[in-house]
């Protein structure tokens, strides 16, 4: 029964793609195998995220894996194919902008996707414990946290409470970007990628080809995600 529901769902997904004129990269064939297995290789996982984002940007989301059947399927075992490290921003919800669903993504969010040991530990969990083949560090256009940090660093002011910790975490990107906020957002993501890549737990997996770490940028205006590194 479960399989029947899933087949019906994936058929609907494929039909939806065709109807929307979005048969990208053999999309129909891909849609039919949607629920069969998770992408095992890093490039395959990135391709699935990219396809999902194309649908999102074109207002043609199929909202996969968001039903009762999927809930039952992943209730006892999860196999997410990507870890997405992104900002807390309410406009950059990973499952929406990648048109993914339940059990697909491990989502780690912090202001301006800043990395500290607790965040990197959470990121490492996917590849180390669940064999997740891809990590995406996703920055975004007009990031409020980056803008506020740039302003504070420019003015030499100190933000109240723990907000100042975010400012300090963004200081290296601020220095490299020389005051350009959009550049700072991108540099911050590429620096986070470099930091994660250097981690002792992840580096051997990257060397063996089991894991890739990608830096990316989300446009609030277009809904499109572009790869930075």
Chain residues in the site for Zn ion (CB under 5 A): 87, 89, 143, 145
Q: How far is the CB of 165 from Zn ion (least distance, A)?
A: 15
Task: Note the maximum CA span of the chain.
Answer: 63
- Two structure tokens written together for 64: 């996969």
Q: Closest CB to Zn ion among 56 and 217?
A: 217
Nearest approach in angstroms of CB 32 to Zn ion is 36
Residue 131 or 144 having the CB closest to Zn ion = 144
**Cβ distance to Zn ion smaller for residue 136 or 145:** 145
Burial class (CB in 10 A: 0-12, 13-18, 19+), 80: buried
Q: Which is nearer to Zn ion, 82 or 148 (CB)?
A: 148
Q: How far is 131 from 101, CA to CA, in rounded Å? A: 18
Could you tell me the smallest distance in angstroms from the CB atom of residue 122 to Zn ion? Answer: 18
Report the residue number, 89 or 124, with the smaller CB distance to Zn ion. Answer: 89
Question: What are residue 83's DSSP bridge partners?
Answer: 106, 135
- CB of residue 45 to Zn ion, shortest distance in Å: 24
Q: What does the angle CA 175 – CA 179 – CA 183 come to, to the nearest 5 degrees?
A: 85
114 φ, ψ to 5°? -75, 145
Residues whose CB falls within 8 Å of the CB of residue 21, separated by 6 or more in sequence, listed in order: none
* DSSP 8-class letter at 21: T
Residue in this structure with the two tokens 């590429």, named with its chain if needed: 190
Q: Name the minimum Å distance from CB 111 to Zn ion.
A: 7
Cα separation of 202 and 5, whole Å?
A: 37
Whole-number minimum distance, CB 137 to Zn ion, in Å? 12
Closer to Zn ion by Cβ: residue 67 or 168? 168
Alpha carbons 175 and 198: distance in angstroms, whole number:
21
């Amino acid at each position: 029964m479960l399989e029947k529901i899933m087949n019906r769902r994936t058929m609907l997904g494929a039909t939806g793609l065709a109807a929307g004129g979005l048969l990208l990269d053999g999309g129909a064939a891909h849609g039919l195998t949607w629920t069969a297995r998770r992408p095992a290789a890093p490039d395959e996982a990135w391709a699935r995220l990219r396809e999902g984002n194309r649908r999102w940007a074109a207002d043609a989301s199929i909202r996969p894996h968001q039903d009762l059947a999927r809930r039952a399927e992943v209730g006892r075992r999860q196999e997410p194919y990507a870890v997405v490290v992104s900002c807390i921003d309410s406009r950059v919800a990973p499952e929406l902008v990648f048109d993914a669903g339940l059990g697909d993504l491990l989502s780690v969010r912090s202001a301006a996707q800043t990395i500290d040991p607790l965040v990197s530990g959470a990121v490492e969990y996917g590849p180390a414990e669940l064999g997740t083949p891809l990590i995406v560090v996703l920055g975004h256009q007009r990031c409020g946290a980056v803008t506020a940090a740039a302003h504070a660093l420019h003015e030499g002011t100190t933000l109240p409470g723990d907000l100042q910790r975010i400012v300090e975490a963004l200081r290296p990107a601020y220095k490299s970007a020389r005051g350009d906020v959009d550049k700072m957002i991108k540099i911050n993501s590429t620096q986070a990628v470099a930091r994660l890549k250097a981690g002792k737990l992840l580096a051997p997996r990257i060397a063996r080809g089991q894991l890739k770490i990608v830096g990316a940028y989300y446009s609030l205006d277009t809904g499109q995600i572009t790869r930075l590194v």
